[in-house]
Amino acid sequence: MMTNETQKVLTVSAIEDGTVIDHIQSGQALRIVRLLKLSHHPQRVSIGMNLPSSRFGLKDLIKVEGKELTPEETNQIAIFSPQTTLNIIKDYRVIKKFTVTLPEVIENILECPNPHCISNHADTNHTLYVNRVRGKIQMRCKYCDKLFTQDEFNESFAC
């Protein structure tokens, strides 16, 4: 009989060189694929969704072969999944491991979810201020000053 551990290895196999984006909040993997534009990546990208996790119950996971993602690129991930771990792999070994850091400002990555906001109708930058209140992420638009919850952002960044 196959153990759970064996099944996990068979589902998403180890990579030689690249980045493993681990402990993604379940349900957020495809938003992160979109955020990091991984659909344009020329090498293998493996996506696991709702994998068993001892820490979170269920997690998503993305393995990107042949690319070392930088902390700047990957900190954006924290707005959708603040506990995410980044593992840089070289010759099948984890050579660096870090947890993403929530950025204070998100510039020109996400649009304001308010359809009436001036930033969605004029040639302006998109600037959102990020805050964490009692563990929950909130974002405030620089232009319309409205406050948005994680759920509102998830909805406006569909995948």
Among 21, 22, 33, 128, binds ligand CTP (CB under 6 A): 22
10 touching ligand CTP, by CB under 6 A = no
CA angle 82, 85, 87 (to 5 degrees): 155
117 touching Zn ion, by CB under 5 A = yes
Q: Measured between alpha carbons, how far is residue 58 from residues 38, 86, 104 in Å?
A: 22, 17, 28
Among 6, 44, 94, 95, binds ligand CTP (CB under 6 A): 94
CA dihedral sign, ordered 142, 148, 154, 157 = negative
CA dihedral sign, ordered 68, 71, 72, 73 = positive
110 touching Zn ion, by CB under 5 A = no
Among 144, 149, 150, 156, binds Zn ion (CB under 5 A): 144
81 touching ligand CTP, by CB under 6 A = no
Per-residue contact string for residues 51-80; x = within reach of ligand CTP by CB under 6 A = ------------x-----------------
Identify any residues that bridge with 46 across adjacent strands, giving them in sequence order: 63
